[in-house]
Amino acid sequence: MTDRHDSAQLEQTLTLLEDELACIYEVSKVLNRSLNLQESLREVLRVLHEQGQLEHGMVSLLDEASGDLLLCELHRQDKPTMENVRYRSGEGIMGLVIEMDKPLIIRKLADEPRFLDRLGVYNPALPLIAVPIRARGDEIVGVLTAQPPAELHLLAERRRFLEMVGNLIGQNVVLANQVASDKQELQKERDSLRRKVKGDHGFGNLIGHTRVMQTVFEQARQVAKWNTTVLIRGESGTGKELIANAIHYHSPRANSAFIKLNCAALPDNLLESELFGHEKGAFTGAVSQRKGRFEQADGGTLFLDEIGEITPTFQAKLLRVLQEGEFERVGGSKTLQVDVRVIAATNRNLEEEVRAGDFREDLYYRLNVMPIMMPPLRERLEDVPDLTRFLVNKISQKQGRPLDIGDSAIRALMHHSWPGNVRELENCMERAAILSPDGHIDAQVIRLSGLDSHFPLESGGGGRDARFCVSTGTGGSKTDLNAPDLDERERVIAALEEAGWVQAKAARLLNMTPRQIAYRIQTLNIQVRQI
């Protein structure tokens, strides 16, 4: 009789071991499936209930701040409120496991005086097993409890099984905590970078104290609040992209992507792929699906530079996405929708392009909702000193040495027409910094940098004074002052060049009085050069 009983128990134990092995496999799959700790624990307790015959599984984790056990997850269909359920070390069965640092088997829960029954979910007629959840060796990070069937001869085996599950959970807890910590650090770094980028592109960092630039800044501040399409216009090198940056980073979309594309850099077929993306196999070399700039900018801002360079064929495709927010990837048939704020920029005269039939009128009106005109540098020469000092400081940081610029150099810069605008000024300052061995930039260094002669000739007539800017200071120009192709402004400039920019001498060459030539210099907006 005893042998038959022992044989039955052995068979029951072997069956349990097989079931536990299958259950451990399912638990490991659950824990490898997701980094969401709460979701993983919920699934583990479900597996223990359905496959392991372990009811009312509960996981409590240690709170690092207080050292208390906090109830994290409980398997029961009608779950009680689990908020703020905690156990201090030595308190109840949970706290006792932490205090003793070892598993605890209660053969019948109703006979255990230390059982607090705070949740009111356990069956007092069944046993209860509580095991430490360990990680990183013997460190306890929580407690796992469950109620097995009332098979007392199998309790030791079920305790061993729960300890294995607890160790698996412990590894997952450590990994989840590490991921959460890394995520928090990344979020802090992201927020810090966002604040820095917003500060770098703030209106306070845009240089311009002239009335025309203050108007530009005020327009940009106002339009940044809304999702209105913006068209920034102006000559090359006037800072259109800086204004686009400022608008985005001071808009409600500042925390989303700011995507840029130079439309002049790509032909139509590549431009379509860049903006709208393409499907795998759409063309030779399309080895995988690729998101376009519109998809990348979804929820944010897309800056389209040199918008006036796109062909009429592509203008029709761009118009649709601007109007409807819809497009298809190249080689695809699925219509995609995006929420993108578009800021465009151009140095072309779009009105003339429309009249000539080179730019679609409907696209022009779609883009020109809020136009912002960037003035050329020659129309805000009062900003040259501040711009120059800013650029010198920027170049100083790049070169890793102190640089300064003298008043004489700034005066020389104020008498240039700047056909290349701020970009030309930056190039001039970088060249001057290279030519300054001691880091001090004066008028002599400016002249050595080629400002007086090299730049205007290269500008292709970008400034009206370019034809007459070359001068040795000794009256080297021999322009025919009576030439019929000279207008009045050109004639006065030629006389000043020939006279070495001495106004009285130039007046005699033109048969004028000094007062007359001074009046013409003022009315014709001629910048007097100091020789």
460: pLDDT confidence band, cut at 50, 70 and 90?
very low
Q: Which one is the CATH code of 379-523: 3.30.750.24, 3.30.413.10, 1.10.8.60, 3.40.50.300? A: 1.10.8.60
Mean pLDDT in residue range 408-425: 88
> Which of the pair, 104 or 455, is modelled with greater confidence?
104
Q: Nearest Cα to 311, choosing from 256, 371, 351, 267?
A: 267
pLDDT of residue 531: 52
Max Cα–Cα distance, the chain, nearest Å: 141
530: pLDDT confidence band, cut at 50, 70 and 90?
low
Calculate the average pLDDT of the chain. Answer: 84
Mean pLDDT in residue range 80-98: 79
pLDDT of residue 447: 81
DSSP one-letter code for 309: G
What CATH superfamily classification does 11-179 receive?
Answer: GAF domain (3.30.450.40)
Mean pLDDT in residue range 296-304: 95
CA distance 307 to 285: 27
The b-or-e profile of 228-238 (16+ CB within 10 A means b, else e) is: ebbbbbbbebb
Specify the DSSP element, H or E, that contains 498. Answer: helix 488-498
- Alpha-carbon separation of residue 160 from 8, 17, 23, 165, 402 (angstroms): 21, 11, 13, 9, 71
pLDDT of residue 201: 66
Decide: 322 and 366 in contact? Cβ < 8 Å: yes
Percent residues over pLDDT 70 in the chain: 89
Mean pLDDT in residue range 80-90: 73
Strands 341-346 and 230-233: parallel
- Alpha-carbon separation of residue 459 from 132, 180, 233 (angstroms): 79, 57, 20
Give the number of other Cβ atoms within 10 Å of residue 444's Cβ. 14
pLDDT of residue 183: 85
Give the number of other Cβ atoms within 10 Å of residue 508's Cβ. 14
Both tokens assigned to 374: 């960037």
**150, amino acid identity:** A
pLDDT tens string 384-410: 999 999 999 999 999 999 999 988 888
Alpha carbon 172 to chain centroid, angstroms = 32
Architecture of domain 203-375: 3-Layer(aba) Sandwich (3.40)
Mean pLDDT in residue range 428-444: 90
529: pLDDT confidence band, cut at 50, 70 and 90?
low
pLDDT reading at 505 higher than 80: yes
302: pLDDT confidence band, cut at 50, 70 and 90?
very high
pLDDT of residue 407: 86
Q: Nearest Cα to 526, choosing from 475, 470, 465?
A: 465
pLDDT tens string 166-203: 999 988 888 888 888 888 888 888 777 777 776 666 67
Mean pLDDT in residue range 305-316: 91
Comparing 287-296, 401-410, 425-434, 500-509, the range with the smallest average pLDDT is 500-509
DSSP one-letter code for 79: P
pLDDT tens string 355-369: 999 999 999 999 999
pLDDT of residue 465: 39
CA distance 104 to 96: 8
pLDDT reading at 482 higher than 80: no
pLDDT of residue 98: 86
pLDDT of residue 475: 36
- Report, in angstroms and rounded to the nearest whole number, the Rg of the chain calculated over CA atoms: 39
CA distance 291 to 313: 22
What residue spans define the domains of the chain?
Answer: 11-179, 203-375, 379-523
